[in-house]
Amino acid sequence: MLKENQIRLIEEIIETAYKLLTHKLAFGGLTARNESAFQLEFGHILKTIGQLYEFRLVDKFHLEFETYISLNGTSIKSKSDRARIDLLLKYQDNENSTKAAIELKFFKKDNHREPNNRYDVFKDISNLELYKKHDIDLCYFILATDHTHYCFKDSYSPDTADFDFRHEKKYNAGTILQYKTLKPYGNDLTLNQDYEFLWDTINDLNFLKLKV
């Protein structure tokens, strides 16, 4: 199978799994309301759908949780030559192999870790950009939250306003993101791509899916 076709199939698998997961969570078909359960349920749906896409005997879909990949340099996340990915998908046959990395977050209103959570989102996106330079073909960031603070709040404090992924907000490649508090939570971040943040709201949950 051509590499381009494998990439298209993995995109279909992720998009379908995302739609099923978000609707099951929002309508009560699943009760995963924390990050570890969110990851587990999404992984289960991805694996189930991925195996249905094994159309030929040589087609193989594989999924790994919390796995490490090698980096030729230093990762912001791991500060080593390895990086840990929440979900790693592989689709391969006898000719080609395609990999996709997914980073997940689930922010609960009753665990309001702000503004550090917003920084961590941009840090994950930065890491995913790095993974694309190291043998990963597709990268996605997915966030679920029951707190509208992240998607529809009127404004943020000037000290942390750089870290803004509210609905319909945009990030321009090369813009420096800075934590301007007396004791910054993390180093400045700069992303390589343009992004537009578009949220899906279903019942009491809000979801952000970003293709990196």
Cα 201 from Cα 165, distance rounded (Å): 15
Classify strands 170-171 and 82-92 as parallel, antiparallel or unpaired: unpaired
pLDDT digits (tens, 9 = 90+) for 57-93: 999 999 999 988 877 654 445 455 677 899 999 999 9
Query: Where are the chain's structural domains?
Result: 3-105+114-146+199-211
Q: Which two tokens stand for residue 29?
A: 């078909």
Nearest alpha-carbon partner for 191 in 167, 160, 209, 212: 212
Which helix (H) or strand (E) segment holds residue 6: the answer is: helix 3-27
The ranges of the chain with pLDDT < 70 are 72-81
In terms of C-beta density within 10 A (0-12 exposed, 13-18 middle, 19 or more buried), how is residue 64 classed?
Answer: middle
Which helix (H) or strand (E) segment holds residue 128: the answer is: helix 116-131
Phi, psi of 109 (to 5 degrees): -60, -35
Provide DSSP, 65-88. EEEEEE-SS--TTTSSSEEEEEEE
The whole-number pLDDT of residue 181 equals 87
Question: In whole angstroms, how far apart are CA 80 and each of 1, 42, 85, 99, 103?
Answer: 35, 28, 14, 21, 18
In terms of C-beta density within 10 A (0-12 exposed, 13-18 middle, 19 or more buried), how is residue 150 classed?
Answer: buried
The whole-number pLDDT of residue 33 equals 76
Q: Which residues contact 175 (CB under 8 A, 6 or more apart)?
A: 162, 190, 191
The whole-number pLDDT of residue 84 equals 86
Radius of gyration of the chain (CA): 17
